[in-house]
Chains A and B, each alone.
Chain A
Amino acid sequence: MADQKASTSIEAVESGLAAQGYIASRQIATAVYLSQQIEKPILVEGPAGVGKTELAKAIAAWRGMKMIRLQCYEGLDEAKALYEWKYAKQLLYTQILKDKLGEVLGGAQTLHAALDQLHDFGDVFFSKEFVEPRPLLQALEQPGGCVLLIDEIDKSDAEFESLLLEILSDFQVTIPELGTVSAITPPTVILTSNSERDLGDALKRRCLHLHIGFPEQRLEERIVESRVPGISQTLRRQMVGFIHEIRTLDLKKLPSVSETIDWARVLVLLQAGELDSEIVKDTLNVLLKYEADIEAAAPHVTTFIAKAARSNVFG
């Protein structure tokens, strides 16, 4: 039955990603599954460091496909994202072929005749030979398909979004001199955004919209477990509980999953057996990236540790 198949396939996605060290929540797995089934890009939004980029990497590793990454920034344009003509090569070739051209056109009596002859040769200089494919075009030309990661789309200009629309909906691009290039195998497209600006409706409409927030405590523990194998279970529980307490504070930049993992690594390096206020205060700068945040969090450290330890006992 279709329904049964769907839920088992979603579980397959979950375990597949888990094998690559990416612990996905069910929403994420559903999104990945659906994007594959109905061939739609996924637009991933969420705070920095919750694993948006990692998701694309994990999918690529899991399916054994190449990952092509396009990092967006202000001023990114067609020539850097899609394709560019190799002007220098064109110039060089015209120089080299000068004599050849003379020979070809030698027989012509008039300017018109020369032009006609030239036309017979076609647009030699505007052919595939002289196109330099940039990430978007590269992604379409991969014979086995690939994972195309368009990272931080919100950093690019609004005009760039319009450029993406054709690729996102039809998996093709149009180069005026060459015609339309369609994807050999439709790539899996992942777009990420930090919501720095609102994206256009046209872009959003073409994508599945996935919001990744901070994970639940259990999920985060599993993430730490898979990423930092050397950490003991008690410490893992305590530190994740502590971070969840920290996230309730009103801070400039809340610690996200990547900070949790970093902190876990630091604690393992320092050979901490369990959390105490001394070691937390020493390593708080791994978690919090602003001086003001550290100052705001410091007075709460002792209570948070106590709370985390309590929930550890009962939870």
Chain B
Amino acid sequence: MRENLHRFFRAARGAGVHVSPAESIDAMRAVAQVGFSDRDILRDALLLTLAKSQDEKLALGDCFDLFFSQPEPRQEQEANDNDASSKDGQPPSPDAANDAGGGQPTEGLGPLAQMLLSQDRNAIATAIASAAGAASLSNIRYATQRGIFSGRILDAMGLQRLRDDLDDLTAANPSLAERLRTALEGLREAVRDTVSQGLALYAREEAENLRNEILRNAPLARIEPRQVEEMRALIRKIARRLRERYSKPRKRQRRGHLDVRRTLRRNAAWGGVPFLTAWKRKHRDRPKIVALCDVSGSVARVSDFFLLLIHSLHEVVDDVRSFAFSSHLIEVSNILESNSPEVAMAEIMSKVGFGSSDYGSSLDDFEHEFMSTLTPQTTVIVLGDARSNNLDPRADILRRISERSKRLVWLNPEGRMVWGFGDSEMPRYATFCSVVRQCATAQQLERAVSDIVASYQ
């Protein structure tokens, strides 16, 4: 049974629950206390020791139900009998042959054939499970491996012998052979189900990692519509990671500067003899961000994901004001706060989107209406390709923005190679920016935002 628990821990990791070795030891100890006879108690015990949040509890609960939805091979004698009946509620697949069995001459057949003919569901399920163990089903990673693993499991169960038996029987006893053949079909189906279950349990993590890795490095501007939803989920995941990393306000003590007022106060009880010292602390500001996003055709997708990311960082970033522009500029913070991302983006697009971009007049709009939002603590992020259709770039406004703010970061979805070619004004703008970086994929986006937030820590 210990083997089974180890496999369950692996499945749990696949389901996104962090199971560290220490936690698995705890779970083992807990299970040793409660035993296996009561499934609900076992479930509770595992949920208590392994899952550390409400989300993890849900995921682990589902994983538990999937994992134990099949009778497991039992090595230990304890609770063997009363257990079998309770767990057998859902056999892995209905046995195909239903006609009257038993009483037929089965001598001279292999063990698998006998087992199939006797229609002992429990024995078959146990055999499948132990064959799956022998074929190390828990190593399955990709859906394409299903065939291989089914084959291995069937081989381990003695398919070869069964085939020989079938050949012999076809001549000797056709009706029995027919029954055996239907039973074999049923068995194949059961094995296929077992493998699919194994895939769902063990391969989830791997497959998800692979898909996310591809998605992280895909250019945001050119992803297919069907991937948009996945990308949103990925962005949310990134946001969660950034939140976890940066949301804890860190107080760094700066020893060496005595806080006289607080020290005297604290030691009043001892006549001002300073037993306890109080030191001045350095206060750090929460990030203040002003984001200017180009939503003209070429950059809209990237802006979409960027705004989604920045606005899901509430715990980390106190104060975000977002502006969208193509030919003119409007504030979009409220739209983003009060709507779901899809609705918000559609509304922004209908207001300013899809025009040909004019950086000069957009910057001009910003200077006239919103210049007062900039403080020396503000990081200004401009997201755009700096292609201004040969109109006046008004780099002088960007210089004033840069002077008023803490930092000016320019994120450009285009590659460095093409900056400055055609109507790109990037080199001219770049002189006033603290940082200029390419930002085309989710990974680059994460790094850019993480750097900005980290500069406040």
Chain B 25-62, CB-CB to A under 8 Å as 1, else 0, gives: 01001101111111011001101110111100100000
A6-62: which residues lie under 8 A (CB-CB) from chain B?
Answer: 6-7, 10, 26-27, 30-31, 33-34, 37-38, 40, 45
A-B contact pairs, 30 of them (CB 8 A): A1-B35, A1-B37, A1-B79, A2-B35, A3-B35, A3-B38, A4-B37, A26-B40, A27-B47, A27-B48, A30-B41, A30-B44, A30-B45, A33-B34, A34-B30, A34-B34, A34-B45, A34-B48, A37-B30, A38-B26, A38-B30, A38-B33, A40-B26, A88-B269, A91-B270, A157-B251, A159-B251, A198-B247, A204-B52, A208-B48
- Give the number of A-B contacts (CB < 8 Å): 92
Query: A3 and B79 in contact (CB under 8 A), knowing A88-B269, A88-B270, A197-B247?
Result: yes
Decide yes or no whether A201 CB sits under 8 A from chain B. yes
CB of A210 closer than 8 Å to a CB of B: yes
CA distance A31 to B34 in the complex (A): 11
Please report whether the interface of chain A is mostly helix, strand, loop or mixed according to DSSP. helix
Contacts of B247 in A (CB 8 A): 197-198
Tell whether B226 is near chain A: CB-to-CB under 8 Å: no
What residues on B are CB-neighbors of A88 within 8 Å? 269-270
B41 to chain A: which residues have CB within 8 Å? 6-7, 10, 26, 30
Partner of B248, one of A3, A197, A211: A197
Chain A contacts for B251, CB-based, 8 A: 157, 159
CA distance A7 to B33 in the complex (A): 10
B201 → chain A closest CB, angstroms: 22
- Asked if A158 CB lies within 8 Å of chain B CBs, one says yes
Interface residues on A, range: 20 to 34
A197 to B316, CA, bound (A): 12
Closest chain-B Cβ to A75's Cβ sits at a distance in Å of 10
Q: Is B33 a contact partner of A37 (Cβ separation < 8 A)?
A: yes
Q: Is B22 an interface residue, CB under 8 A from the partner?
A: yes
Is B244 at the interface (CB under 8 A from chain A)? yes
Residue in B closest to A3 when the chains form the complex, CB atoms: B35
- Cβ A209 vs Cβ B270 within 8 A: no
**Which residues in B have their C-beta under 8 angstroms from that of A208?**
26, 48-49
Residue ID in chain A nearest B275 by CB atoms = A87
Residues of A within 8 A of B44 (CB): 26-27, 30-31
Chain A residues near B269: list those with CB within 8 A: 87-88
- Contacting B at CB under 8 A, from A187-230, are 197-198, 201, 204-205, 208-211
Q: Mark B239-256, 1 if CB is under 8 A from A, else 0.
A: 000001001101100000
**Bound Cα distance A34, B47 (Å):** 12
Give the contacting residue for A6; candidates B35, B78, B270; CB below 8 A.
B35
